[in-house]
C-alpha cells in the first residue's frame, strides 16, 4: 500500500543525483573531457536502489517485489524496446551512408551567404531524422568547422548554431530517446506530442532564423561531401509515417528494412554487415536501456514510500501561489521540475525519466492534456541541456572546435528563444486543452 507523502522517501533520488552530479563536478574541475560521463548512470543509481530498499517499511520480499514490478512496468518495457529499434535504425542508416546523404542534401540547397541559418536548418533536419543531437553534432562538426574557418565566421557562434539545430531535432524527432521517454511517461501518442511541440518549436525556430539572417557570412562556396542522395529517403519515410500516426514499432521496423534495402541496392551493403549493425545499434542504447529499467524500479520504491506524492505536493503548492489557473500551475510545475532536474543531472533523457511520473501527476491534477505535459517535459529538458556548459553537446563542440564549452553554450540562441516562447505561450495563450477535451477529440 502506498504510504503518505514523505520527504524521506526522496533520499535515494538525492543520493543518485549527488553521486552523478558530484562525480561530474569533480572530473570537470580536474580537467577531464566529458566529465559528467565518467561515472555511468546505471552504476551511479545502484547505491540509490540499495538505500531505497533499506528505507522501505515493507517485508524484505515485498520490497524486492515492488522494485521488480517497477522494472517490468509496461511503459518502461515498451520504452526500452523502442530504444533498441531506434538505435538499430540510426546505426543501419548511418552505415549505409544516410547521414552523409542528409548532410549533402542540405548543403546542396544552401546559398553561401546564408551559411549560419542554413547550418541551423541542416542540423535541425539531420537531428530530427537521426533522433540524436550528439550523433548530429559528430557528423556535422568536421564539415561546419571547415566552412566556418574558410568564411572567417566566429567559431563560438557557429558551434552554438549547430547545437541549437541539433537540439531542435532532438526535441521533435520520433526516434529521439527524449521523445520516447516523454510520450511513454505521459501516456500520449508520439504524433500528438509532435503536433503540440511543433506549435512552440516552429515560432522559436523562425525567430532564430531571423536572428541568424542578420549575420553577413560572405559568399564562400561550401565543399559538399560525396553522397548518394537517395539514401536520405529512409529518414523522410519514417518521419512521414510517424506523423501519419502509424505505430512506432512498425515505423522503426520498416525504417530499418528500407535503410538496409537502399544500402544493398546502391552501395553494396551486405546481409552480414546488416545483422552486425542492428546489434551495434542495440548496444548503443545499452546505457539508457539499463538506466530506464533501474529508474523504473527505483521510482516504484519511492512512489510506494510516498516520495513522489511529496514532490508533487511541493511543486503544486509553490506554483499555486503564483498562478490562479490550474493548467498554468501544472504547466509551470512541469517546466520548473524538468529544468531543475536537468541542471542537476546534465542529461535530458535521464531528466525526463526522473521527473516523468511526477509531471504526469501534476498534469492530471491541473487538467493538462498528456500531449502538453509531454511537450513541456521534452522542451525544457532540451532547453537546459543545450544551454549547459557541462552538457555533452557543449563539451563535444568545445573539443571539436577548440573552444571553451561556456563559449559554446552562451551562443545556443535557439535554446533561450525556445524557453521564452514556451513560457510566453503558457502565460498568454488561452487555457491549454483539458484532458477531457482531448478524450472527446
pLDDT in tens, 135-191: 778 767 767 776 677 667 888 899 999 999 999 988 888 878 888 889 988 988 888
Crossing angle (nearest 10°) for helices 248-266 and 271-284: 140
Which pLDDT score, from 0 to 100, does residue 94 have? 82
In whole angstroms, how far apart are CA 413 and each of 4, 205, 211, 256? 43, 10, 9, 34
How far, in Å, CA of 124 to CA of 150, rounded?
23
Residues with Cβ within 8 Å of residue 344, at least 6 apart in sequence = 17, 20, 21
**Block residue for cell numbers 490550474:** 326
Crossing angle (nearest 10°) for helices 307-320 and 286-304: 80
The pLDDT tens digits for 302-312 are 888 888 778 77
The pLDDT tens digits for 181-209 are 899 889 888 888 998 999 999 999 999 99
Region 52-58: mean pLDDT is 93
How far, in Å, CA of 122 to CA of 164, rounded?
11
The pLDDT tens digits for 243-266 are 676 777 887 888 899 989 988 998
The pLDDT tens digits for 264-304 are 998 889 999 999 999 998 998 788 788 878 888 888 898 88
Q: Whole-number mean pLDDT of the chain?
A: 82
Which of the four pLDDT bands, split at 50, 70 and 90, describes residue 100?
A: confident
Which pLDDT score, from 0 to 100, does residue 436 have? 40
Which of the four pLDDT bands, split at 50, 70 and 90, describes residue 225?
A: low
Decide if 137 contacts 93 (C-beta within 8 A).
no
High-pLDDT (> 70) share of the chain, % = 86
What length does the chain have? 441
Which of the four pLDDT bands, split at 50, 70 and 90, describes residue 440?
A: very low
Decide if 276 contacts 260 (C-beta within 8 A).
no
How far, in Å, CA of 119 to CA of 220, rounded?
14
Amino acid at each position: 500500500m502506498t504510504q503518505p507523502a514523505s520527504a524521506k522517501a526522496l533520499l535515494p533520488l538525492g543520493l543518485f543525483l549527488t553521486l552523478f552530479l558530484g562525480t561530474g563536478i569533480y572530473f570537470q574541475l580536474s580537467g577531464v573531457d566529458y566529465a559528467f560521463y565518467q561515472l555511468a548512470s546505471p552504476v551511479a543509481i545502484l547505491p540509490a536502489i540499495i538505500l531505497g530498499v533499506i528505507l522501505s517499511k515493507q517485508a524484505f520480499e515485498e520490497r524486492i517485489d515492488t522494485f521488480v514490478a517497477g522494472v517490468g512496468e509496461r511503459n518502461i518495457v515498451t520504452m526500452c524496446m523502442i530504444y533498441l529499434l531506434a538505435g538499430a535504425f540510426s546505426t543501419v542508416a548511418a552505415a549505409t551512408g544516410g547521414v552523409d546523404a542528409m548532410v549533402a542534401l542540405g548543403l546542396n540547397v544552401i546559398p553561401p551567404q546564408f551559411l549560419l541559418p542554413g547550418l541551423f536548418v541542416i542540423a535541425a533536419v539531420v537531428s530530427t531524422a537521426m533522433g540524436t543531437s550528439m550523433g548530429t553534432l559528430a557528423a556535422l562538426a568536421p564539415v561546419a568547422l571547415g566552412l566556418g574557418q574558410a568564411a572567417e565566421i566566429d567559431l563560438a557562434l557557429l558551434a552554438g548554431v549547430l547545437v541549437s539545430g541539433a537540439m531542435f531535432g532532438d526535441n521533435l524527432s520520433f526516434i529521439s530517446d527524449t521523445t520516447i521517454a516523454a510520450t511513454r511517461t505521459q501516456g500520449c501518442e508520439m504524433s500528438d506530442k509532435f503536433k503540440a511541440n511543433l506549435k512552440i518549436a516552429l515560432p522559436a525556430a523562425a525567430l532564430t532564423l531571423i536572428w541568424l539572417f542578420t549575420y553577413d557570412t560572405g559568399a564562400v562556396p561550401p565543399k559538399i561531401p560525396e553522397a548518394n542522395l537517395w539514401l536520405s529517403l529512409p529518414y523522410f519515410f519514417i518521419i512521414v509515417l510517424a506523423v501519419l500516426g502509424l505505430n512506432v514499432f512498425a515505423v522503426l521496423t520498416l525504417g530499418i528494412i528500407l535503410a538496409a534495402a537502399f544500402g544493398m541496392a546502391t552501395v553494396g551493403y551486405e546481409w552480414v554487415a546488416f545483422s552486425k549493425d542492428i546489434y551495434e545499434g542495440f548496444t548503443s542504447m545499452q546505457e539508457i536501456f539499463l538506466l530506464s529499467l533501474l529508474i523504473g524500479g527505483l521510482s516504484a520504491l519511492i512512489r510506494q514510500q510516498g516520495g513522489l506524492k511529496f514532490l508533487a505536493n511541493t511543486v503544486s503548492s509553490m506554483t499555486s501561489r503564483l498562478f490562479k489557473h490550474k493548467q498554468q500551475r501544472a504547466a509551470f510545475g512541469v517546466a520548473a521540475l524538468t529544468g531543475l532536474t536537468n541542471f542537476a543531472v546534465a542529461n535530458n533523457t535521464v531528466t525526463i525519466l526522473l521527473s516523468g511520473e511526477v509531471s504526469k501527476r501534476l498534469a492530471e491534477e491541473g487538467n493538462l492534456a498528456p500531449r502538453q505535459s509531454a511537450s513541456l517535459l521534452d522542451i525544457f529538458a532540451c532547453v537546459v541541456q543545450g544551454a549547459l556548459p557541462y552538457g555533452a553537446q557543449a563539451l563535444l563542440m568545445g573539443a571539436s572546435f577548440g573552444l571553451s564549452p561556456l563559449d559554446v553554450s552562451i551562443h545556443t540562441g535557439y535554446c533561450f528563444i525556445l524557453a521564452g516562447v514556451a513560457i510566453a505561450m503558457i502565460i498568454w495563450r488561452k487555457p491549454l486543452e483539458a484532458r477531457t477535451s482531448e478524450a472527446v477529440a
